[in-house]
């Protein structure tokens, strides 16, 4: 190559392809790498989509390699681009837009697509698969507007989708053709236990049901089954399986069957073209689970880098169900037959089950339910075709599967044994990182080696290795920080900022010894908030440390447009403001105007380039629907109009909203103000809920009506409006100063304790007044970010994220 780097093109920006790239980067610098991905995102953890769906994680949380990573390693990334074929004559990869990328070697990692049952009505609105972020967003949107969902398919993916939709408040029925759930991974006993547990969590089941038709007009309205029975639904998730995405290979003339056919070194029938992941067929098998895909990637990486490696001979697959509150594991063979010796234990009281299958006294498979402590050990033993012994039996079954057993020893593990199958990380690699880099926490190991980064199933073994290496220093050394970039806690960071007078995010990271110099999506926004909370008069807000919605002053939608929510104090508006909203919506072709649950109007579908002009022409304050701040103050009509009202809730709600808007908080914050105990504004599910009565007001705190619903606690009663405002300000400032970043008040109250909060803001009058003074000081140094973004000192044209603006409010 005359010193020039070889051109490696990777088709597919998913987990299998990028994991292979990561392995290549460890072995060689001989390649100039280009990655082409269909989705408009960097590489993210697809197996964590169920957590995004249930709301416990965001897209940012599951990104494995952000854009900085591609830049750091000089990788050219094309997002939102689809490859149509490989032209082997010209040695170019051709995209659907006609672009051509030259190559010396190609890796195809196009993954798989959802299999949609070809029944009548499968193409109706409201029918979706569950494979990527776009599907996830569709399901999240559906949960806001529809109530009855069906998930067709009772396998791993279907159950994860069902639990996510239940968490979002939908009535969910899992429709399954077979009589057992996850029949490809579990025996009938474990399947029945799983079904019973999921029923306790709110999922309904229709077993042994064959779907024959999806009913309805443009949108799905029901499912008809082969027995002519009908299930009424308004949303359907197809989770009946996946099919390898072999389009590129077929169009390029490669040998394909169900998947792209490869040899033991992942070579396709086309010279210098390789395939890895779910799109691949090896020895007649296509794998749809994560670990085999990374095993393939490790061998492929070594092969194309010229490093000696054993051939790929297939994988022993294992399965873990990623549903909160349900622990299920399966590996190897799981259905016992005449040729098996069966070792099993079932404990109906503790709801645990363990079964190990032997053939000729060799361990060939296992199923665990309820207690999966031994999963890593069993997977290793079965992969190594270990013979059962009395000692091994005593270790695995000695106290019963529900009992307390000592942790699996890592001392006897070989150093080249893979601990994290998802990312190909060995015991030796982890031990070297702990020793050479001084690592003391799981998060540090994850950041350094990638272990635990994907499914997290190896975390117990990684922790055991950490304890084994650190010995007596384990307890004190393995302290968890706010993220993997630091071992410092929230309180320690705030104390250091105060003590050392740190003023910027970069300064904090540098002085306090961040392991990642640029930080991450978890710590950058947190530090920016802490700096502003500590020194509101001097801190310059760092836009680059804000989430995208806050940077754009609007919520981004799945189609790339934005929603704009102007402020309506206490949910009250005027005809003039309504006319202005209508005029702007028509002028800028807004797709819909939605009345929100917070008594405001949401302008949906604003183009990015129109955002500053929309804000300018509305000439209304932002409702901060995108911000970690006061979102809404919901009110009833109160004593002004209601015959039951005892207090003027509309006026009080507007007063509170005007007073505390604009201020940054650890997380989004919602109020409700009721004019009487009938509670029409729903104070019981708000961060601060206020209920009027004949004698004054009662204050409730820590309510949440979202995914983790919580009823608010009664904090105190006050007699005057002045006391109410002072208490509200003190509560908010105490929360600002003591809560973790992104911690809602519902979690804060449970962590800190209601009595502790009451002692500070209610009982200690001096501290309450001091808190109120501090929040007044902070309020005096903030202004609307949308105003700040479009004004300059001379009042001349200003660029708003690259868009020229000629008018301003």
Check whether 324 has a pLDDT greater than 70.
Answer: no
What pLDDT score does 449 carry?
84
Check whether 698 has a pLDDT greater than 90.
Answer: yes
- Under the banding of pLDDT at 50, 70 and 90, the label for residue 789 is very low
Check whether 784 has a pLDDT greater than 70.
Answer: no
Residue finishing a domain among 240, 262, 282: 240
- Is 181 inside any structural domain? yes
What pLDDT score does 399 carry?
46
In angstroms, the CA 554 to CA 151 distance is 33
Segment of 46-55, 329-338, 482-491 carrying the highest mean pLDDT: 329-338
- pLDDT per residue as tens digits for the range 235-294: 999 999 899 999 999 999 999 999 999 999 999 999 999 999 999 999 999 998 777 888
Segment of 389-393, 407-411, 582-586 carrying the highest mean pLDDT: 582-586
Cβ atoms 733, 776 nearer than 8 A: no
Q: Are strands 696-701 and 555-556 parallel, antiparallel or unpaired?
A: unpaired
Check whether 1 has a pLDDT greater than 50.
Answer: no
| Angle of helix 188-200 versus helix 156-167 axis, rounded to 10 | 10
Check whether 406 has a pLDDT greater than 60.
Answer: no
**pTM of the prediction?**
0.58
Check whether 312 has a pLDDT greater than 70.
Answer: yes
In a shared domain, residues 757 and 774: yes
The mean pLDDT value for 192-203 works out to: 92
Phi-psi region of 667 (alpha: psi -120 to 50; beta: other; left: phi over 0): beta
Distance set, CA 103 to CA 93, 254, 272, 294 (Å) = 7, 17, 9, 23
CATH code, domain with 51: 3.50.50.60
- Is 39 inside any structural domain? yes
State the alpha helices, DSSP H only, in 661-784.
721-738, 745-752, 754-758, 765-779
In angstroms, the CA 443 to CA 420 distance is 14
What pLDDT score does 808 carry?
29
> Kind and range of the H or E element at 490?
helix 490-500
What pLDDT score does 514 carry?
87
Q: Does 422 belong to an annotated binding site?
A: no
Exposed / middle / buried, residue 580 (Cβ in 10 Å: 0-12, 13-18, 19+)? middle
Both structure tokens of 357: 């299958």
What pLDDT score does 398 carry?
64
- pLDDT per residue as tens digits for the range 415-471: 777 787 666 688 888 888 888 888 887 877 887 888 887 656 677 788 888 888 887
What pLDDT score does 463 carry?
82
Check whether 48 has a pLDDT greater than 60.
Answer: yes
Q: How far apart are the first and last CA of the chain?
A: 61
What pLDDT score does 425 carry?
80
Phi-psi region of 522 (alpha: psi -120 to 50; beta: other; left: phi over 0): alpha
Q: How far is CA 617 from the centre of its chain?
A: 36
- pLDDT per residue as tens digits for the range 288-298: 877 788 889 99
In a shared domain, residues 635 and 771: yes
In a shared domain, residues 764 and 652: yes
Q: Does 716 belong to an annotated binding site?
A: no
In a shared domain, residues 220 and 271: no
What pLDDT score does 255 carry?
97
The mean pLDDT value for 491-509 works out to: 91
In angstroms, the CA 264 to CA 280 distance is 12
What pLDDT score does 454 carry?
63
Out of 391-400, 503-512, 604-613, 773-782, pick the least confident: 391-400
Both structure tokens of 335: 């259905």
In angstroms, the CA 548 to CA 41 distance is 14
Q: Are strands 696-701 and 713-718 parallel, antiparallel or unpaired?
A: antiparallel
What pLDDT score does 785 carry?
45
In a shared domain, residues 349 and 422: no
What pLDDT score does 795 carry?
41
- Is 557 inside any structural domain? no
- Is 709 inside any structural domain? yes
- Is 578 inside any structural domain? no
In a shared domain, residues 471 and 458: yes
In a shared domain, residues 503 and 455: no
CATH code, domain with 368: 3.30.390.30
Nearest 10 degrees: Cα torsion 640, 641, 646, 648: -30
Check whether 628 has a pLDDT greater than 50.
Answer: yes
Residue finishing a domain among 212, 240, 268: 240
Residue 360: give the domain boundaries. 327-397
- Is 795 inside any structural domain? no
In a shared domain, residues 235 and 250: no
Provide the number of structural domains found in the chain: 6
pLDDT averaged over every residue in the chain: 86
In a shared domain, residues 645 and 722: yes
- Is 575 inside any structural domain? no
Check whether 475 has a pLDDT greater than 90.
Answer: no
Check whether 112 has a pLDDT greater than 50.
Answer: yes
Tell which wins on pLDDT, 193 or 167. Answer: 193
In angstroms, the CA 166 to CA 183 distance is 22
- Is 762 inside any structural domain? yes
Check whether 480 has a pLDDT greater than 70.
Answer: no
Q: What percent of the chain has pLDDT over 90?
A: 52
In angstroms, the CA 652 to CA 38 distance is 51
In angstroms, the CA 258 to CA 235 distance is 30
Check whether 788 has a pLDDT greater than 50.
Answer: no
In a shared domain, residues 168 and 286: no
Residue with tokens 């798989």: 112
In a shared domain, residues 650 and 747: yes
Check whether 802 has a pLDDT greater than 50.
Answer: no
What does the angle CA 117 – CA 123 – CA 125 come to, to the nearest 5 degrees?
125
The mean pLDDT value for 209-215 works out to: 96
Out of 321-330, 360-369, 698-707, pick the least confident: 321-330
CATH code, domain with 452: 1.10.10.1100
Residue finishing a domain among 368, 397, 426: 397
Out of 19-28, 146-155, 304-313, 318-327, pick the least confident: 318-327
Residue with tokens 């980064």: 453
In a shared domain, residues 226 and 257: no
Check whether 516 has a pLDDT greater than 50.
Answer: yes
Residue 85: how many other CB atoms lie within 10 Å: 18
Check whether 725 has a pLDDT greater than 70.
Answer: yes
What pLDDT score does 173 carry?
97
Cβ atoms 262, 128 nearer than 8 A: no
């Amino acid at each position: 190559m005359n010193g020039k780097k070889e051109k490696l093109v990777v088709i597919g920006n998913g987990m299998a392809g990028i994991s292979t790239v990561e392995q290549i980067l460890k072995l060689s610098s001989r390649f100039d790498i280009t990655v082409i991905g269909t989705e408009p995102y960097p590489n993210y953890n697809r197996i964590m989509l169920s957590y995004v769906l249930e709301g416990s994680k965001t897209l940012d949380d599951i990104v494995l390699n952000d854009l900085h990573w591609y830049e750091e390693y000089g990788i050219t990334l094309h997002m939102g681009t689809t490859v149509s074929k490989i032209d082997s004559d010209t040695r170019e990869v051709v995209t659907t837009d006609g672009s051509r990328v030259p190559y010396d070697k190609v890796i195809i990692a196009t993954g798989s697509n959802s299999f949609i049952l070809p029944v009548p009505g499968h193409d109706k609105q409201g029918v979706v698969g569950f494979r990527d972020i776009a599907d996830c967003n569709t399901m999240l949107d559906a949960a806001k507007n529809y109530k009855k969902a069906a998930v067709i398919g009772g396998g791993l993916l279907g159950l994860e989708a069902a639990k996510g939709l239940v968490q979002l408040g939908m009535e969910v029925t899992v429709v399954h053709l077979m009589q057992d759930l996850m029949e490809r991974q579990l025996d009938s006993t474990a399947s029945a236990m799983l079904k019973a547990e999921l029923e306790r969590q709110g999922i309904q089941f229709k077993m042994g049901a064959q779907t024959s038709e999806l009913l309805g007009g443009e949108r799905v309205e029901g499912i008809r089954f082969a027995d002519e029975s009908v299930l009424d639904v308004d949303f359907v998730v197809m989770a009946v399986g996946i099919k390898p995405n072999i389009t590129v290979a077929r169009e390029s003339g490669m040998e394909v069957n169900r998947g792209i056919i490869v040899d033991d070194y992942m070579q396709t029938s086309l010279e210098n073209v390789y395939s890895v992941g779910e799109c691949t067929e090896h020895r007649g098998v296509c794998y749809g689970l994560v670990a085999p895909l990374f095993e393939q990637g490790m061998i492929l990486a070594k092969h194309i880098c010229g490093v000696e490696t054993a051939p790929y001979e297939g994988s022993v697959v294992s399965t873990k169900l990623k549903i909160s509150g349900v622990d299920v594991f399966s590996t190897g063979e799981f259905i016992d037959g005449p040729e098996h010796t069966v070792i099993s234990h079932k404990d109906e009281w503790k709801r645990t089950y363990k079964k190990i299958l032997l053939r000729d006294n060799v361990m060939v498979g296992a199923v665990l339910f309820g207690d999966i402590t031994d999963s890593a050990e069993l997977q290793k033993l079965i992969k190594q075709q270990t013979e059962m012994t009395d000692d091994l039996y005593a270790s695995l079954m000695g106290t019963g599967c529900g009992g307390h057993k000592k942790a699996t020893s890592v001392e006897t593990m070989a150093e080249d044994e893979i601990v994290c199958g998802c990312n190909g990380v060995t015991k030796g690699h982890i031990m070297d990182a702990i020793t050479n880099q001084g690592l003391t926490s799981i998060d540090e190991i994850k950041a350094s080696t990638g272990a635990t980064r994907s499914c997290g199933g190896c975390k117990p073994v990684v922790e055991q290795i950490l304890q084994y290496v650190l010995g007596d220093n384990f307890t004190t050394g393995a302290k968890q920080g706010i993220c993997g970039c630091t071992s410092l806690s929230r309180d320690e960071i705030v104390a250091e900022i105060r003590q050392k007078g740190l003023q910027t995010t970069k300064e904090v990271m540098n002085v306090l010894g961040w392991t990642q110099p640029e930080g991450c999506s978890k710590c950058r926004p947190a530090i920016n908030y802490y700096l502003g909370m500590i020194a509101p008069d001097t801190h310059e807000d760092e836009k680059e440390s804000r989430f995208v919605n806050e940077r754009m002053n609007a919520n981004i939608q799945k189609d790339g447009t934005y929603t704009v929510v102007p402020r309506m104090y206490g949910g009250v508006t005027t005809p003039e403001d309504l006319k202005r909203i209508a005029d702007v919506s028509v002028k800028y072709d807004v797709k819909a105007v939605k009345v929100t649950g917070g008594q405001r109007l949401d302008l949906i579908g604003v183009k990015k380039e129109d955002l500053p002009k929309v804000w300018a022409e509305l000439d209304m304050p932002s409702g901060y629907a995108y911000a970690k701040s006061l979102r809404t103050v919901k009110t009833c009509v109160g004593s002004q109009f209601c015959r039951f009202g005892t207090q003027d809730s509309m006026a009080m709600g507007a007063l509170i909203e005007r007073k505390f808007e604009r201020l940054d908080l650890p997380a989004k914050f919602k109020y409700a103000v009721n004019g009487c105990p009938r509670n029409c504004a729903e104070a019981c599910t708000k961060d601060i809920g206020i209920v009027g009565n004949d004698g004054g007001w009662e204050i409730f705190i820590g309510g949440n009506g979202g995914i983790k619903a919580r009823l608010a606690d009664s904090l105190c009663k006050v007699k005057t409006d002045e006391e109410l405002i002072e208490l509200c300000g003190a509560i908010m400032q105490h929360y600002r100063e003591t809560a973790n970043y992104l911690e809602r008040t519902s979690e804060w109250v449970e962590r800190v304790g209601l009595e502790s909060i009451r002692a500070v803001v209610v009982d200690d009058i001096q501290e309450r007044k001091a808190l109120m003074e501090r929040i007044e000081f902070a309020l005096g140094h903030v202004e609307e970010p949308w105003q700040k973004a479009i004004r300059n000192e001379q009042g001349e044209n200003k660029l708003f994220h690259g868009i020229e603006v000629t008018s301003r409010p």
